[in-house]
Structure 1
Amino acid sequence: GAGEVAWCLRATRARRVAPGALNAENIGASAGEESEGPGKAEPSPLPARESSKLLAFLTAFGRFSRPHTVLGTAVSICSVSLLALRAPADLNARFALGLAQALSAALCMNVAIVGLNQLYDIEIDKVNKPYLPLASGDFTVRTGRAIVLSTAAVSLLIGFASGSSPLLATLTTSLLLGIAYSTDLPLLRWKRFPFLAAACILAVRAVIVQLGFFSHMAAALAGPATAASEAAAATMAAGANPRGLFQSLLPPGIEWTLALGFGTSFMTLFSIVIALFKDLPDIQGDREAGLKTMSVRLGPQRIFNACIALLATAYAAACAIGCFWCGPAWSRLVTVACHAALGATLLARSRSVQVSSAQSLYAFYMLIWKLFYAEYLLIPFIR
């Protein structure tokens, strides 16, 4: 009828409007069409497009954050936090708040540090890691800088708002080492120098994470007054014995235990391995960029063998500590059995690695990170 013809004409005019040219008149016309026509107008594709853009951004952000390092940070902080517990009653609101502060601040700082490295490694990553957002073009440099600056700022704000000196010091030191490692400025970009590059990774993963976050959690559980009294007691004991003198040099709230000492020592070896092995799959791009990593200098086979030897030594030492130093029978059983199993897995998988294949080396590198996660799950059982 005439009504249907008029409705079709209006629908045709509406379809001629550009998607971005919506205004009040067009919106009104669309509303009229929906109410007057024999059928409802098709839904606008704009929400679907926005959802698609958001999903693409989140996917790229996931790659930008380097998930294996995010997981490593989360697992390590949770493990170290458990070492600060002295009794079941310590699982209280103060513990939960301290852990939330540490996790949120550390994960933001993790994203900032790995993002900063990507900003200065775009050309190298186009060869070694073309799937990363800056190298692939999924993120612009401006977007990368915005993410790095915002996550670093949020991390430091959380540290400052927490009132925890150990937490703020840990975050600030980690950021400074990340800047020194990646930034291409005079006297910086320490990743060009094998010893300094390894020292940065070792300092963060083996020392700062262990002592810094343990100190934060111990202070959170003790409260300001108790932490201050412990610091005074440690200072008074300094002249009584060498252990008191050493203890007085540590932040208030840190008390050396078997688990803390073992974790720091074991993760020192593990961090050296990560620092050396991470460059093995990237030899081609590093060589083209003129980065004289240990893998470029000595060759992949020597570095691979050295990493396997270091980890095998660490697992053998862990079994010995379990046999001779752990007190409870359950602690000895867990420590020896689990470290023997992890060491055997390492040696078995190492035999199938093709050192000439970047893909094979990267797969084994991811196995090393899984062993890293497993170790942090075991450390709280060492008593």
Structure 2
Amino acid sequence: MNLLEQPAAWLYSFWKFSRPHTIIGTSLSVFALYVIAVSMTNSGWTWQGFGQLLGAWIACLCANVYIVGLNQVHDVEIDRINKPHLPIAAGEFSLQLGQGIVALTGILALLFAWLLGPWLLLMVSIGLAIGTCYSLPPIRLKRFPFWAALCIFSVRGAIVNLGLFLHFSWALQQGQVMMATAAVWALTWFILVFSFAIAIFKDVPDIDGDKLLLSFSFL
């Protein structure tokens, strides 16, 4: 599939490649943490703050696509059984295109984070590292139930929420960091619970492919 020849179809395939439910979750976390940071720091709404919000959102979206894309690149045979609608498994994207998207989004995530601040760079770097260890052989932590679950709810629940709040408070207060407040911890624990549930039940529909190709997570 060619972007120039079939732009609408290509973009729809890219939307599927990005795993929309993760994009929505990431976006909600970014915007919620920004609102909390503005409220806690009494910073008000400024164009500079909006720039930080937009940049952090782009960095997080790129990191998100890198992580879910890397998983698809290394799970093609499994996805042909469990998730045949995904672009690489369905033949809509070539493996080389998938690898290119993963590489580009990983670089962009680090670049945006580096430009915006040290806390965002630290958060994105840790998230990318864990996402890489989750999917990439020979480590491929998704094979092991405990480590697979830990990867998912540590990134989704703790690292993203605490990291974003530290970044936004640092940016809004011109270099001064505010420690996580009760609202941030409440949001973090709320998402931790749901992330744990996702980690436990995400593989239930995928038992057939996982058994056939020996990719064990929660079976």
TM-score using structure 2 length: 0.94
Partner of 1:352 in structure 2? Answer: none
Residue pairs, 1:98-247, within 5 angstroms:
98-162=52-116, 164-185=117-138, 188-224=139-175, 227=176
Q: Note the C-alpha offset of 1:291.
A: 2.4
Q: Distance in 1 between matches of 2:189 and 2:41?
A: 25
Residue pairs, 1:354-369, within 5 angstroms:
none
Q: Which amino acid aligns with 1:143?
A: L
Q: Note the C-alpha offset of 1:57.
A: 1.5
**Does structure 2 conserve the Cα–Cα contact (< 8 Å) formed by 1:113 and 1:178?**
yes
Partner of 2:11 in structure 1? Answer: 58
Q: Which amino acid aligns with 2:32?
A: S
Q: Which has the larger radius of gyration?
A: 1
**Does structure 2 conserve the Cα–Cα contact (< 8 Å) formed by 1:94 and 1:220?**
no
**Equivalent of 1:91, from 24, 45, 58?**
45
Percent sequence identity over aligned pairs = 40
Q: Which amino acid aligns with 1:223?
A: Q
In 2 relative to 1, CA 50–147 (structure 1 residues): closer, same or farther, beyond 3 Å?
A: closer
Secondary structure at the residue paired with 2:174?
A: helix
In 2 relative to 1, CA 118–219 (structure 1 residues): closer, same or farther, beyond 3 Å?
A: same
Unaligned runs of 5+ in 1: 1-48, 228-252, 297-383
Q: Note the C-alpha offset of 1:55.
A: 2.1
Q: Which amino acid aligns with 1:212?
A: G
Q: Note the C-alpha offset of 1:89.
A: 4.7
Q: Distance in 1 between matches of 2:63 and 2:180?
A: 27
Unaligned runs of 5+ in 2: none
Partner of 2:180 in structure 1? Answer: 256
- 1:114-142 Cα offsets, whole Å, 9 max, x none, are 00000000000000000111101111111
Q: Which amino acid aligns with 2:198?
A: I
In 2 relative to 1, CA 180–146 (structure 1 residues): closer, same or farther, beyond 3 Å?
A: same
2:209 corresponds to 1:285: yes
Q: How many residues align?
A: 217
Q: Note the C-alpha offset of 1:155.
A: 1.2
2:26 corresponds to 1:82: no
Q: Distance in 2 between matches of 1:165 and 1:265?
A: 24
Q: Note the C-alpha offset of 1:99.
A: 0.6
Q: Distance in 1 between matches of 2:68 and 2:208?
A: 21
Residue pairs, 1:323-362, within 5 angstroms:
none
Q: Which amino acid aligns with 2:44?
A: D
Q: Which amino acid aligns with 1:275?
A: A
Secondary structure at the residue paired with 1:223?
A: coil
Q: Distance in 1 between matches of 2:73 and 2:124?
A: 20
Q: Distance in 2 between matches of 1:148 and 1:278?
A: 22
Q: Note the C-alpha offset of 1:259.
A: 1.0
Cα RMSD (Å) of the superposition?
1.6
**Does structure 1 conserve the Cα–Cα contact (< 8 Å) formed by 2:3 and 2:10?**
no
In 2 relative to 1, CA 155–145 (structure 1 residues): closer, same or farther, beyond 3 Å?
A: same
- 1:322-357 Cα offsets, whole Å, 9 max, x none, are xxxxxxxxxxxxxxxxxxxxxxxxxxxxxxxxxxxx
Q: Note the C-alpha offset of 1:70.
A: 0.6
Q: Note the C-alpha offset of 1:59.
A: 1.6
TM-score using structure 1 length: 0.55
Partner of 1:267 in structure 2? Answer: 191
Q: Distance in 1 between matches of 2:180 and 2:115?
A: 28
Q: Note the C-alpha offset of 1:97.
A: 1.5
